[in-house]
């Protein structure tokens, strides 16, 4: 069947004396706030178009339902059906979550280890999700006296949560009507009061409320309200449990307020007043706060200490001085130690610091490219920290590490039921020269029997925004492609912080095009080293990574044979001009403010994927969207696909698949998610002729 043809409604928005055609602007429902809450109210003409696109996408692969089902079963075979997390001790109890054999959702449990009691199920998400097309729990927090539980549930994918409070002794529900919450929730140390954040009318977390379990939510007390629409508010708690932390921030500036957790009615106290470009996050130890910060030009961050009764910037003194090239990523504090996660030469490491004498040691690893992260624990007065390790070929391993004895105990190794031998694969770390001489790290994995003569297809993934670094971690799903001869690669482009803060700064704002040119340089390097060849590469990115995909397709469409853009941020200029959208004001520091600044307008216009579609032979493209997505609104990929299909030349397929009942993260449920992944892999395998021989492939142009 022919692809849908979106109606054209002339529209010529004008900013800074510049007019731009936006003939598909009608796909943006002016009632988008209500659509996120109640997707059924979407305008009929928009729904009709999106459903026509979904029908086209399904019919296009209708003859391959058997192949898709095979992929789903293959993906499912890599998931341990009755999996369980490593229990986390907390006083007399140990907390964990597990899955039953055919369950879609986790079951949150605990045991009283002091009494040696049987398992106690605190929350079975499968029961709560029964009969719902979407259901996700994003936070589960127990009181430190183990008497109550609060969790945040979302039944639309819009990330608007309802908080539910449960009495763990009786199993009774205490509260279930606190709505419009962002999902952040923190208990006070009176074990009856908790704090939570609320979304404003434009879906921004801007207020912190205090609630006493069992009280009418109408009586909840407003504790903090952020007046700057460019700042988000989140809440947390220090590892010592002494302080509730309110964190107001955008992408480059932060401000912290604290409340004594044992005195929940206390007014929040600000530490260091926000200063543009200065970020800090706090931990607590004894009579001081420890802060990770970039203050005083410490672009790769340092650690400072300040008295608990102050916190003002003039009282900060260095505990760990700034060292260029050593990016301090995270800080964890215990009674006798603190640990920090760092990145040096694009690889992570954990360093343990002993408070008593200042002695430090590093936890060492051997692989050429790997991922490492600290796993949160409940206990403060302990010598045991927990971390997780994996590589592109090595399944995740969870270790308990004794910081005093310097010994590690393997607590869990990710099991792949259908089988996985890391020795069958090669993991490489490459360096590609970008257009300006900068070297871009590339993490690569492929099967040992994959020929490196340019014939193999490659899937090249990239992100490159917000300083987020893409880990060289294990994902069992990828081996559906790798075992069929694909080379899988991650381009660690500028815009992330793989090589320090400057790597991020050189890929944002007016320097954003470095992100795209780095990705192109990575693709060209894979070609020059015979990992693949032009038109045998698929570009892959999600969200801001979808912007990367859209931009490189406009710059070098002939280099790629296919592209997958999941919930792609491709209508950048229109979104950054709309200050009512959830993420727009907070993201002006990242992209620029085209409303106020003509230069920012011109910069974004120069690369915005939607605005730069021209008459070119684009490769095969699969784009996805979520109707209730508050991060990348559904109309961005819809408009992008409509315009690209209207302007392209050649026979490249342009496909849009919109989830009409989910948001940014796609469907809920661990097995249901596999249907979405299988569709993407089916698209790639068919494009590159890697399905079973009896399946008819798509001819590439």
Residue 536: which region, alpha, beta or left (left: phi > 0; alpha: psi -120 to 50)? alpha
Crossing angle for the helix pair 513-528 and 598-607, to the nearest 10 degrees: 30
**CA gap 242, 266 in Å, rounded:** 13
Crossing angle for the helix pair 513-528 and 544-555, to the nearest 10 degrees: 70
Question: What is the residue whose two structure tokens read 């610091």?
Answer: 353
Residue 526's φ and ψ, nearest 5 degrees, are -60, -35
**CA gap 139, 108 in Å, rounded:** 11
Residue 329's φ and ψ, nearest 5 degrees, are -95, -35
Which residues neighbour 647 within 8 Å (Cβ) at sequence distance 6 or greater?
A: 613, 614, 615, 616
Which of 175, 390, 664, 668 is an active site residue? 664
What one-character-per-residue DSSP string does 153-222 give? Answer: EESSSSS-EEEEEEETTT--EEEEEEEEEEEEEEE-TTSSEEEEEEE-TTS-EEEEEEEETTS-GGGPEE
**CA gap 238, 144 in Å, rounded:** 13
Residue 559: which region, alpha, beta or left (left: phi > 0; alpha: psi -120 to 50)? alpha
Q: Which is nearest to 584 in space by CA: 204, 27, 275, 254?
A: 204
CA quadruple 563, 567, 569, 574: dihedral sign: positive
**CA gap 12, 124 in Å, rounded:** 52
Report whether 434 contacts 552 (CB < 8 A): no
421 is catalytic: no
**Joined tokens for residue 291:** 């802060």
CA atoms within 13 A on the CB side of 461: 17
Q: Which is nearest to 195 in space by CA: 253, 137, 139, 278?
A: 139
User: What's the distance, CA 644 to chain centroid?
Assistant: 27
Q: Which is nearest to 364 in space by CA: 382, 383, 389?
A: 389
**Joined tokens for residue 215:** 């009280």
Report whether 525 contacts 550 (CB < 8 A): no
88-90 and 93-98 beta bridge pairing: antiparallel
664 is catalytic: yes
184 is catalytic: no
CA atoms within 13 A on the CB side of 316: 23
Which of 390, 543, 628, 668 is an active site residue? 543
35-52 as b/e, with b when 16 or more CB fall inside 10 Å?
A: bbeebeebeeebbebbeb
Beta-sheet strand order (sheet of 397-402): 371-375, 384-390, 397-402, 407-413
**CA gap 534, 552 in Å, rounded:** 14
Q: From the CB of residue 375, how many other CB atoms can be counted at a distance below 10 Å? A: 16
**Joined tokens for residue 139:** 């936070």
**CA gap 153, 200 in Å, rounded:** 18
Which of 540, 620, 629, 668 is an active site residue? 629
Name 292's bridge partners. Answer: 281, 303
Residues with a known catalytic role? 543, 629, 664
């Amino acid at each position: 069947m022919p692809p849908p043809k979106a109606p054209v409604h002339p529209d010529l928005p004008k900013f800074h004396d510049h007019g731009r055609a936006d003939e598909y602007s009608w796909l943006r429902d002016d009632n988008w706030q209500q659509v996120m809450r109640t997707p059924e109210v979407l305008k009929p003409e928009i729904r009709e178009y999106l459903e026509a696109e979904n029908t086209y996408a399904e019919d296009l692969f209708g003859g391959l339902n058997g192949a898709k089902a095979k992929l789903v079963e293959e993906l499912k075979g890599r998931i341990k059906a009755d999996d369980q997390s490593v229990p986390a001790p907390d006083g007399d109890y140990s907390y964990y979550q597990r899955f039953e054999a055919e369950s879609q959702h986790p079951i949150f449990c605990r045991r009283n280890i002091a009494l040696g009691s049987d398992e106690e199920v605190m929350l079975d998400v499968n029961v709560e999700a029964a009969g719902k097309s979407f259901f996700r729990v994003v936070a589960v927090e127990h009181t430190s006296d183990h008497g109550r539980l609060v969790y945040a549930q979302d039944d639309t994918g819009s990330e608007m949560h309802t908080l539910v409070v449960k009495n763990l002794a009786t199993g009774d529900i205490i509260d279930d009507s606190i709505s419009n919450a962002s999902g952040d929730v923190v208990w006070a140390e009176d074990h009856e009061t908790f704090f939570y954040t609320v979304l404003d009318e434009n879906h921004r977390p801007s207020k912190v409320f205090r609630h006493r379990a069992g009280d009418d939510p109408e009586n909840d007390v407003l504790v903090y309200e952020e007046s700057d629409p460019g700042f988000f508010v989140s809440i947390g708690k220090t590892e010592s449990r002494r302080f509730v932390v309110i964190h107001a921030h955008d992408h480059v500036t932060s401000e912290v307020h604290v409340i004594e957790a044992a005195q929940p009615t206390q007014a929040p106290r600000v530490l260091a007043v926000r200063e543009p470009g200065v970020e800090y996050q706090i931990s607590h130890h004894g009579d001081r706060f420890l802060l990770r910060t970039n203050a005083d030009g410490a672009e790769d961050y340092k650690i400072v200490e300040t008295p608990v009764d102050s916190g003002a910037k003039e009282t900060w003194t260095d505990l760990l001085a700034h060292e260029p090239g050593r990016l301090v990523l995270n800080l964890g504090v215990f009674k006798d130690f603190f640990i920090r996660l760092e990145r040096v030469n694009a690889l992570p490491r954990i360093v343990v610091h002993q408070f008593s004498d200042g002695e430090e040691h590093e936890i060492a690893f051997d692989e050429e490219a790997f991922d490492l992260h600290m796993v949160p624990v409940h206990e403060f007065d302990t010598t045991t920290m927990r971390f997780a390790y994996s590589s592109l070929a090595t399944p995740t391993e969870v270790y308990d590490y004794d910081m005093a004895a310097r010994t590690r105990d393997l607590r869990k190794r990710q099991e792949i039921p259908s089988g996985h031998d890391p020795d069958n694969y090669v993991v490489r770390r490459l360096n590609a020269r970008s257009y300006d001489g900068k070297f871009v790290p590339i993490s690569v994995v492929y099967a040992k029997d994959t020929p490196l003569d340019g014939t193999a297809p490659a899937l090249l993934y990239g992100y490159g925004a917000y300083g987020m670094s893409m880990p060289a971690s294990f994902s069992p799903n990828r081996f559906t492609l790798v075992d069929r001869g694909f080379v899988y690669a991650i381009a660690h482009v500028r815009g992330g912080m793989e090589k320090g803060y400057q790597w991020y700064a050189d890929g944002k704002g007016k320097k954003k095009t470095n992100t795209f040119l780095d990705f192109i340089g990575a693709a060209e390097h894979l070609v020059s080293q015979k990992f693949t060849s032009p038109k045998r590469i698929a570009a892959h990115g999600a969200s801001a990574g979808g912007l990367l995909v859209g931009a490189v397709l406009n710059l070098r469409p002939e280099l790629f044979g296919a592209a997958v853009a999941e919930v792609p941020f491709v209508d950048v200029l229109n979104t950054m001009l709309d200050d009512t959208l959830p993420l727009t004001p907070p993201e002006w520091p990242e992209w620029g403010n085209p409303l106020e600044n003509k230069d920012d307008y011109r910069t974004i216009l120069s690369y915005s994927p939607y605005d730069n579609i021209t008459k070119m032979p684009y490769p095969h493209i699969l784009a996805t969207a979520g109707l209730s997505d508050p991060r990348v609104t559904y109309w961005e990929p819809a408009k992008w696909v409509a315009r690209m299909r209207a302007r392209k030349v050649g026979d490249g397929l342009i496909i849009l698949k919109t989830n009409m009942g989910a948001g940014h993260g796609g469907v809920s449920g661990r097995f249901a998610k596999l249907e979405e992944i299988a569709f993407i892999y089916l698209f790639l395998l068919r494009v590159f002729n890697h399905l079973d021989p009896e399946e008819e492939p798509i001819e590439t142009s």
